[in-house]
Amino acid sequence: MWNYFDRGQSGITRVAGICGIFIPVVIFTCLGLSIASSPWFTWTQHALSDLGIQANTAALFNYGMILGGILTLVFSLGLIKILSNKIGAYLLALSSVALIGIGLFPETLFALHFITSASFFVLLTVALLIIGLTIKQNPFERSMGSLAFVFALIAMGSTFFLFHLEGIAITEALSCFPAFVWCLIVGVKMTRV
């Protein structure tokens, strides 16, 4: 069906696709369990990273971000192999390194955490925007790009909440949750090579 993939790269593409499928599974599970274990957490007054410094949720949250970042890195390396314009995939790879950094450098390491966290959200949004604007070579890329563009717009629109809420958890969720779903959708397509 996806005859535009190089047959020599189909194994790599499938592994990357499987990683793409597991990105939201890992991230949403770790976040959901962390939030469920934190009755103090509110979406309007906290950041998601606040879960990474509490004794009962720190390990789950931080290791979840690290594992999610590793999965995203492998996924983005697969995208680099198959996309005609690779800039967005390279930026996605950089955002995955920043996601790993969020888990490695919790909020108690303020400067490092801020740099990795801000880098993750900016690089992720720009990666989706570039993927959405530049890939048009075949039906797979066009559909993948259109969805990426929509999700980039949602991420950019989420900054509205920065000025209206005390916390940033809603902005963070709207910035990255659609992107993780995009990874799952694209990952499924990549596994069908």
Question: Could you report the per-residue pLDDT of 129-168, keeping only the tens digit for each?
Answer: 999 988 676 777 788 888 899 989 988 888 877 677 788 9
> How many alpha carbons lie under 13 Å from residue 73 in its C-beta half-sphere?
13
Query: Are 166 and 115 a contacting pair, CB within 8 Å?
Result: no
How many angstroms separate the CA atoms of 126 and 88, rounded? 8
Q: Phi, psi at residue 114, to the nearest 5°?
A: -60, -45
As given in the structure block, the two tokens for residue 79 are 């995208």
Query: Are 130 and 88 a contacting pair, CB within 8 Å?
Result: yes
Q: Is the pLDDT of residue 6 over 60?
A: no
Give the ranges where 105-160 is alpha helix by DSSP (H): 110-134, 139-157
Q: Is the pLDDT of residue 5 over 50?
A: no
Residues 6+ apart with CB under 8 A from 159: 171
Query: Are 84 and 137 a contacting pair, CB within 8 Å?
Result: yes
User: Where does the pLDDT of residue 12 fall: very low under 50, low under 70, confident under 90, or very high at 90 and above?
Assistant: confident
Residues 6+ apart with CB under 8 A from 138: 4
Q: What is the mean pLDDT of the chain?
A: 90
Domain ranges in the chain are 7-191
pLDDT digits (tens, 9 = 90+) for 49-89: 999 999 999 999 999 999 999 999 999 999 999 888 899 99
User: What Å distances lie between residue 164 and 79, 119, 159, CA to CA?
Assistant: 36, 22, 9
pTM above 0.85, yes or no: yes
Which of these, 152, 147, 95, lies nearest to 121 by C-alpha position?
95
Query: Residue 187 has what pLDDT?
Result: 95
How many angstroms separate the CA atoms of 119 and 122, rounded? 5
| Cα R_g (the chain), whole angstroms | 17
User: What Å distances lie between residue 17 and 22, 33, 40, 73, 144, CA to CA?
Assistant: 9, 25, 36, 11, 13
DSSP label at 9? G
Query: Are 47 and 168 a contacting pair, CB within 8 Å?
Result: yes
Q: Is the pLDDT of residue 3 over 50?
A: no
